[in-house]
Amino acid sequence: MIIRKRLAAGVCGLLAALAVGLLPAQAVADEPDAKPTPKVELVLDVSGSMRARDIDGQSRMSAAKQAFNEVLDAVPHDVQLGIRTLGANYRGDDRKLGCKDTKLLYPVGPLDRTDAKTAVATLAPTGWTPIGPALLGAADDLKGGNQARRIVLITDGEDTCAPLDPCVVARDIAARGIHLTVDTLGLLPDAKTRNQLSCIAEATGGTYTSVKHTGELRDRVHQLVDRAAHPVVTPVATKGAQQCDGAPKLTPGLYSDREKFAEHRWYRVDVRPGQELRASVSVAADRAVNNDYGVLLQAATVHGREIVRGSEAGSGRTDVISSGLRYPKPPADAPDGADEPAAETVCLQVSNSFSAPASVKTEPGLPVELAVDLVDAPHDAADAASFGLGRGWWLLGALVLTGLVAGLLWGWISRWRISVWRTN
């Protein structure tokens, strides 16, 4: 008996070893394609003002080169990186030529650290500050694919090539729905530069950072490059319809859209019995708006009957306003062997009441981010619909009844005491 058990164990072990040897090849064959590598482009200002010697005792250009060299040494292997310059080549006074002075210094792709450092070492402060054209060029450099894309703009001054407003350029880039983020860093910026760089970053969901020291510049650029290698969830671009019929059908996830001022947009979500729809929306004010505003998120049937809504209003300056809702669909009892109950199509309406001064451009629309999730509904739909009271209704009823009885008793006792007092 013992020999048989050992023999069986040996055979099982041999089969397991063979399975281990054979399965990896099959697993590799079945594995999905590798995740697309993120793309990052560093856009560096090489205009004449970068000669100023006010960063840690050296010129702004020297500080930028030092920071770049250290960042290039630390770029993750799974990041495709490129470098673009603005104001690096034209030394003259012809504004038309100066505003075309942007060039791809190092093409976006797998990084050769030695070649990239050599290219940066050749730079010398030269000309104008064409930020808008440089952003357009960088967006073209990064186009193609569905991986994370990020532009890191480093400059010490505002754009000198108006009327091509770089903030409008950033909004146009964001409106393309390509999920390209622009982060901006200002080297010892004045108020105008700070405002312009903040506007560029906000329009694309990026960040703005003011920099005064070489170490700050190095650390921040490194953080942003590393963030591209380990991105958070990227919203999926979608476009809401003017009515529920024909609106895009959404599954659980994060979505981005653009909505005009005071516009309504519709989306659809299928909710099965026993599920709870949870949705939230945020509308960003990426430009100057009037003080009174609001956002509405409404769930309705395909026939237009409102199910539930969430709304939020405000006044004064805001960067973003949000609202959300929950809709639990009770489980449906189906006879044994019957088909699974059909899902209900819920229409989600996103509306805003933003308005803007006449001088503010309303195109493209305001950035919208919509989150959709489907979870298991509460076991008792009545509980979910009672706004937090649930089975606490019986307690409320008991308290009301107790108060009524106590009031009657106190009234009877008071009348009895008064009658006794009058008798005496």
Q: What percent of the chain has pLDDT over 90?
A: 57
pLDDT confidence tier of residue 411, bands split at 50, 70 and 90: low
Q: What is the pLDDT of residues 231-240, one digit of tens each?
A: 767 788 899 9
Identity of the residue numbered 2: I
29 pLDDT higher than 60:
no
- Domain 236-331+340-384 maps to which CATH number in 3.30.1490.100, 2.60.120.380, 3.30.70.360, 2.40.50.660? 2.60.120.380
Please give the residue that has the higher pLDDT: either 276 or 29.
276
Q: What is the pLDDT of residue 420?
A: 56
Residue 41 has pLDDT above 90, yes or no: yes
Tokens of 29: 């064959």
Whether the pLDDT of residue 336 is over 60: the answer is: no
At residue 332, does pLDDT exceed 60?
yes
Whether the pLDDT of residue 245 is over 90: the answer is yes
Q: How far apart are CA 418 and CA 16, in angstroms?
A: 95
pLDDT band at 391 (very low <50, low <70, confident <90, very high): very low
Domain boundaries, the chain: 39-229, 236-331+340-384
Q: What is the mean pLDDT of residues 393-417?
A: 61
Q: What band does 30 get if pLDDT is binned at 50, 70 and 90?
A: very low
Confidence band, pLDDT 50/70/90 cuts, at residue 404:
low
d(CA 150, CA 140) in angstroms, rounded, equals 12
Q: What is the pLDDT of residues 311-328, one digit of tens each?
A: 998 887 777 888 899 999
Reported as a single tens digit per residue, the pLDDT across 102-138 is 999 999 999 999 999 999 999 999 999 999 999 999 9
Q: Tell which residue, 315, 261, 317, 312, has the closest CA to residue 288.
A: 317
The predicted pLDDT at position 376 comes to 84
For residue 201, is pLDDT > 60? yes
Largest CA distance in the chain: 114
* Of residues 28 and 181, more confidently modeled: 181
> Which pLDDT score is estimated for 84?
98
Q: Mean pLDDT, to the nearest integer, of 219-246?
A: 87
What is the bridge-based pairing of β-strands 149-155 and 39-45?
parallel
Q: In angstroms, rounded to a whole number, what is the distance separating the alpha carbons of residues 370 and 349?
A: 11
Q: Mind listing the pLDDT tens digit for each residue in 60-103?
A: 999 999 999 999 999 998 899 999 999 999 989 898 999 999 99
- pTM of the predicted model as reported, rounded to 2 decimal places: 0.60
pLDDT at position 204: 87
Residue among 140, 59, 133 at smallest CA distance from 95: 133
- The CATH number of 39-229 is 3.40.50.410
Q: What is the rounded average pLDDT for all residues in the chain?
A: 83
